[in-house]
Amino acid sequence: MDVGRFIDSQVSEIRELVGKGKAINALSGGVDSSAVTVLGHRAVGAQLETVFLDDGLMREQEPESVAAVFKPLGIQVKIVDVKDRFFRALKGIEDPEEKRKAFRDTFYKCLGEAVKASGATFLLQGTIKADIIETQKGVKTQHNILEQIGIDPQAGFGFKVIEPLKELFKPDVRRVAAALGLPESVSQRMPFPGPGLATRCLGEVTPERVAIVRRAVRIVEEETAGIKAFQCFAALLKDRGTGLKTDGCRQFGHMIAVRCVESENAMIAEPVHLPWEVLRKIERRITAEIPEVSRVLYELTPKPPATIEYI
């Protein structure tokens, strides 16, 4: 792919589609939505409003660090606090597809309101090819696929969707992001699913359980920073296991699974052979820094038969 030509053609296409209108996009800080944000701003400048919906399911410090990446590029990010809405919608839900549906419905309700408030009639979205293929194959409904699952965004939410990256797989998105001037911390960033830590929290998604998995994800990301992998993260299992606290008391604590995979495009994946010392350090840090956790497991399943995320 000729990256320069791709950028030029998408910029003119967005410009033509939006015309004198207003557009909006939801930035999550991942490489896909970040690339779309810069493409959109190149195309229509201040006619594009960029919002960050703070759903409470992101990694630590995410809203602040995302805004800090885009400020030097002259792009203002509007942070909207919608945490309560998401936790209310996810309350009591354990089934993976129901979780995805609750997330998606709440996401588009919140975004719909942001669109209304902004007066935009176009939504720029960072859908990539793998998202579409997985949804079409019925593996799972990625939160950002609307038309493929029979939702008409124009009728349902009042906006037209523009998806400049929908023909690209991740490696090409990374090349586009780098060519758009995004820092390596973004262009080479590990994928993080749209429904965020809800995909890494088996059982009910509550603020308390998300806080546990968020801390574990940070530890895994820190300890695997030097490892060549497509994705490394932690998931909170639904079940509990018996453990011993330092005072010798029995603790029926949480269990964390660590997952680290190599993949080209997320369609297939292999577990990474992590060095034993890295695994032990992850275990030590998780059980020491998150006292509610009594067991740490390492996941060995490739994709297929497993998917990369846990829901």
* Footprint on this chain of ligand XMP (rule: CB under 6 A): 131, 134, 139-140, 142-144, 191, 193-195, 199, 231, 266, 303, 307-309
Tell me the closest approach of the beta carbon of residue 264 to ligand XMP, in angstroms. Answer: 11
Q: Which is nearer to ligand XMP, 189 or 281 (CB)?
A: 189
Tell me the closest approach of the beta carbon of residue 67 to ligand XMP, in angstroms. Answer: 20
The span from the CA of 210 to the CA of 196, in Å, is 10
Q: What is the DSSP string of 51-97?
A: EEEE-S-SPTTHHHHHHHHHGGGT--EEEEE-HHHHHHHHTT--SHH
Residue 145's SS3 state is coil
Q: Which is nearer to ligand XMP, 140 or 174 (CB)?
A: 140
Q: Which helix (H) or strand (E) holds 17?
A: helix 3-18
Tell me the closest approach of the beta carbon of residue 280 to ligand XMP, in angstroms. Answer: 26
Tell me the closest approach of the beta carbon of residue 234 to ligand XMP, in angstroms. Answer: 13
Q: Which is nearer to ligand XMP, 197 or 286 (CB)?
A: 197
For residue 172, the Cα-to-chain-centroid distance in whole angstroms is 18
Q: Which is nearer to ligand XMP, 164 or 253 (CB)?
A: 164
Q: Could you tell me which residues come within 8 angstroms of residue 16 by beta carbon, excluding any fewer than 6 positions away?
A: none
Q: Which is nearer to ligand XMP, 48 or 128 (CB)?
A: 128
Tell me the closest approach of the beta carbon of residue 190 to ligand XMP, in angstroms. Answer: 8
For residues 260 and 227, the answer to whether their CB atoms sit within 8 Å is yes
Tell me the closest approach of the beta carbon of residue 48 to ligand XMP, in angstroms. Answer: 20
For residues 61 and 29, the answer to whether their CB atoms sit within 8 Å is no
The span from the CA of 253 to the CA of 277, in Å, is 24
Residue 239's SS3 state is strand
The span from the CA of 260 to the CA of 227, in Å, is 10
How many residues are there in the chain?
Answer: 311
Tell me the closest approach of the beta carbon of residue 69 to ligand XMP, in angstroms. Answer: 18
138 torsion bin: left (phi>0), alpha (psi -120 to 50), beta (else): left
